[in-house]
Amino acid sequence: MNQPALEAIGLTKSFGGVRAVADLSFIVPAGIVALIGPNGAGKTTVFNLVTNLFPPDGGDVRFYGTSLRGRTPNAIAGLGLLRTFQTARVFPGMTALENVMAGAHRHVRVAAVAQMLWLPAALREEAALRREAATMLDLVGLARFRDTPASNLPMGAQKLVEVCRALMARPRLLLLDEPAAGLNDAETAETATLLRAAADSGVTILVVEHNMSLVMDIADHVIVLDLGRLLAQGTPEDVRRDPRVIEAYLGTEA
């Protein structure tokens, strides 16, 4: 039997008495999974709970069967669960290429001392990372921005750089928080291609997104949240027809 990439069991989190996420359980199978819901449904909170940016009040998260409770964010990234942020968080003070290279951190094998001594192994690894990162920027059409300070890039390009950075870590599961928000149509198409390519290479992707045509286009499976609870899940077709989903998004007719 196929083990799910991610399994949330009874996740609960309150902020000052407000229940942001209440007893939420869901399963993320392999492929591209979209996490959708109206504003305030708790989507970003779910990401923050999964990656332990804030600890949940209750419940558990299992990543390929391993519990993530009590692990630090960097330990979780070390297991192969990477994430991006709602507002692009490229590293200012680093070029686009350096940003993407920084993503490979968890794969770096040579010690810092070897890097300081300019040992051949360190130089080889550095060159390999540089090539890999350059290829990735090339793939998303950002080759000309390689040596531009990342924080000087347009917002769309910054978001793509952030996704590339996360993909450089060769994640098993990638959580993307609104990768297409604020992007134009061409950039959105670029993102869709990138995500499809990543999924085809075996990365499972859980994506929060408001752009419904993008969601319906790329997702294999959709999870719908409302008010911190699971509202529905299934294929894009199922979800689109689900009356509860329509109600949550559009309200009931009077």
Partner 1 sequence: MNQFVQIVVGGLLQGGVFAIIALGISLVYRVTGIVNLAQGGFCILGALLLYSLQLDLGWPTALAFLAAVILTAAFGVALGAATFVPALARLPTSSMLMLTAGLLTFIGGLTLIVWGSQPYIVPPFSGEQPIDVAGILVPSQGPWIAVVAIIIIGGIWYLIARTDIGTALIASAENPTAARFMGVNVARLTLFSFGLAAAIGAVSGAVVAPIMSLQFDAGGFFTNAGFIAVALGGMASLPGAIAGGLFLGVAEQLAAGYVSSLFANGLALALLLVTLLWRPQGFFGGSRRRRDVRDEQRVYRSVVRFSGRGTVVAAAVLVVFLAALPYLVGGALLSSLVITLILFIAVLGLDVAMGYAGQVSLGQSGFMALGGYAAAILATNYDVAPLLGAAAGMIVSLFAALLLSVVTMRLQGAYLALATLTFSLLIDSLTVGLVDVTGGPSGLVGIPSLALGPLSLGTPRAMYFFVLALIVLLIAALAGGMRSSFGRALYAIRADQTAAAALGINVPRYKVAAFAISAVLASLSGSLYAFDFHFLSPEMVSTPRSFEMIAMLIVGGEGTLIGGLPGAALITLLPTVFQPLALYKTLAEGAILVLAFQYLPDGLLGGARQLGRWAMAR
Site string for partner 1, 164-183 (x = CB under 8 A): -xx--x--------------
Minimum Å gap between C-beta 165 and partner 1 is 7
Which of 41, 85, 218, 248 touches partner 1 (CB under 8 A)?
85
H-state helical runs in the chain? 43-50, 73-78, 96-102, 112-116, 120-139, 155-168, 185-200, 212-218, 236-241, 243-250
Determine the Cα–Cα distance for residues 245 and 225; give it in Å rounded to an integer.
9
Cβ atoms of residues 167 and 103 within 8 Å: yes
Determine the Cα–Cα distance for residues 56 and 58; give it in Å rounded to an integer.
5
Choose the binding region for partner 1 from 17-25, 27-35, 105-113, 234-242 (rule: CB under 8 A). Answer: 105-113
Minimum Å gap between C-beta 253 and partner 1 is 38
Which of 9, 108, 216, 227 touches partner 1 (CB under 8 A)?
108
Q: 3-state class of 25 per DSSP?
A: strand
Q: 3-state class of 66 per DSSP?
A: strand
Could you say whether residue 71 binds partner 1 (CB under 8 A)?
Answer: no
Could you say whether residue 112 binds partner 1 (CB under 8 A)?
Answer: yes
CA angle 185, 212, 175 (to 5 degrees): 90
Could you say whether residue 11 binds partner 1 (CB under 8 A)?
Answer: no
Could you say whether residue 64 binds partner 1 (CB under 8 A)?
Answer: no
Could you say whether residue 101 binds partner 1 (CB under 8 A)?
Answer: yes
Minimum Å gap between C-beta 83 and partner 1 is 5
**Could you tell me the CA-to-CA distances from 147 to 65, 99, 157, 238 in Å, in that order?**
40, 10, 13, 45
Cβ atoms of residues 206 and 175 within 8 Å: yes
Which of 22, 34, 61, 122 touches partner 1 (CB under 8 A)?
122
**Closer residue to partner 1 in complex, CB, 102/143:** 102
Could you say whether residue 155 binds partner 1 (CB under 8 A)?
Answer: no
Could you say whether residue 102 binds partner 1 (CB under 8 A)?
Answer: yes
Q: Identify the CA nearest to 165 among candidates 121, 192, 197, 129.
A: 129
**Contact positions vs partner 1 (CB under 8 A):** 51, 53, 72-74, 77-78, 82-83, 85, 89, 91-95, 98, 101-106, 108, 110, 112, 115-118, 122, 126, 129, 149, 151, 165-166, 169
